[in-house]
Amino acid sequence: MHTTDKSRQLRSLIRLLTDAAEVVIREWDAPKVAPLNIGSQLPSQDMFEARRIILGACGMCADLVQDPLSRLSEITCGYIPARALHIAAQACLFDLLASADPVEGISIHEISCRTGINESKLVRILRCLCSIHVFAEVKLNHFTNTPTSAAVVGNEPFRSWILIGGAETFAASYKLPAIIMDPVKTHSLSHRESALQEVLDTKLTLWEYLETGVSQEDGTIGPRPELRTWSLAMIGGAQMNGPPLLCDFPWEKHNGCTIVDVGAGVGSMSLELAKIMPITRFHVQDRGAVIQDARAIWMRELPEAIGSNRVNLMAHDFFTEQPIKGADIYLLRYILHDWPDKDCITILKLLRDAMARNSCLLVADYLLNTTIGSSRLKSAPHPLPANYGVAQIFSNMHDLSMMSLFNGMERSPNELEDLGRQAGLEVVRIWECRGYMSIVEFRRDLD
């Protein structure tokens, strides 16, 4: 790019940043009210858009002004700060630093003694994370939380979300280049031939591996302890993804209907919906071992729903016939991205067969936009990439994680529309939410 064009583009980005920053500042300066519900925890639509613009513009500015070789060097070592964060999560540093005086901090010597980690190694790990504002060094060798790390204090589900990024997910990503470059394996779409199977030396899927019986501390046989971490992590991820899904679709119009939550895990989304849809009936479906855990959670969080039979917790394999016929809503959240196209079409067809003409199917997943854009999704203002660039990079990261773990994928609107068409379903609307995920609404075709 010619320097004149770079100068013009940088000025355009600075104007975008200035305008978006004013939106953020106005919202920060507005009178604060106590959160009344989940929706009040979300940014306004204007604030959400301003955030995306700022993040995307900062990413483009960095690309414009940084030396290309330095930029590529940072990217190729990007896993190092991630590993530092994984270590911080394993060592529970967020909670340890919660008691720190904001001015004095806690000394690296004390942190080392309390964690058992070598002092000279631990200080370098912390300083790496200080450089990206996860922690703060308030004076030499003394550290505190920042607003970012404070969000994990006492938050075991989100700590688990961080931990799974450093466990099976990271291990699978290590083997991804070997799978991609293999002349045979590169073409496989089987969920039993992903990078995960390569690193674990197994043909089991992730969930089968986690549920494999192993000796427990009390001498009994039960699932691997990592299963609990993954179950908690799904709740942790929902802290980030859940509120937009609950608030940016008109659930209130469907109060009194029947919702079938397919592959629901412990039913965390249905649990939140049940609180705001008091006369709605829920069927929460997943594997038997997961449903056992779900019952304890529902009895603790919303026992009246169990006692009144407003929720039905049932073991179900979504590759078999759907037993609940003619429900108003069938919900697939975090499901299709685990599976290649052929399996997704099977899942969708089985639900289509169970749907009545007025039923709808809601698919909640990360929805990919490209830098070129999509007619079905909002595009960023010029000169940003249509998908807001860096502001949505986590969606691309998650896509490659799905490839590594399952040979799965996050999909674009056109790709989801094509899957639906092959299953006898039509996309009637895409509900873009104030987060990484969207809700795609399907109806049966007219045949």
Peptide bond into 383 cis (omega under 30): yes
Cα(63)–Cα(257) distance, rounded to whole angstroms? 50
The pair of three-digit structure tokens given for residue 110, joined into one six-digit string: 């004390």
Residue 68, H or E segment: helix 68-76
Cβ atoms of 188 and 203 closer than 8 Å? no
Cα(229)–Cα(247) distance, rounded to whole angstroms? 27
* Centroid of chain to Cα 91: 23
List the beta bridge partners of residue 430.
440
Cα(351)–Cα(259) distance, rounded to whole angstroms? 13
Cα(389)–Cα(129) distance, rounded to whole angstroms? 23
Q: Which residues, in sequence order, are CB contacts of 405 under 8 Å at separation 6+?
A: 168, 169, 172, 194, 195, 196, 206, 338
Backbone phi and psi for residue 325, each to the nearest 5 degrees, phi listed first: -95, 145
List the beta bridge partners of residue 222.
214
Cα(29)–Cα(17) distance, rounded to whole angstroms? 18
Report which of 420, 429, 258, 384 is spatially closest to residue 331, judged by C-alpha positions. Answer: 258
337 is catalytic: yes
Place of tokens 């700022």: 54
Cβ atoms of 133 and 148 closer than 8 Å? yes
Indicate which residue of 142, 316, 337, 398 is catalytic: 337
Cα(60)–Cα(54) distance, rounded to whole angstroms? 10
Q: Quote the strand ranges of 223-275, DSSP E.
A: 258-262
Peptide bond into 250 cis (omega under 30): no
Instruction: Show which residues are catalytic.
Output: 337
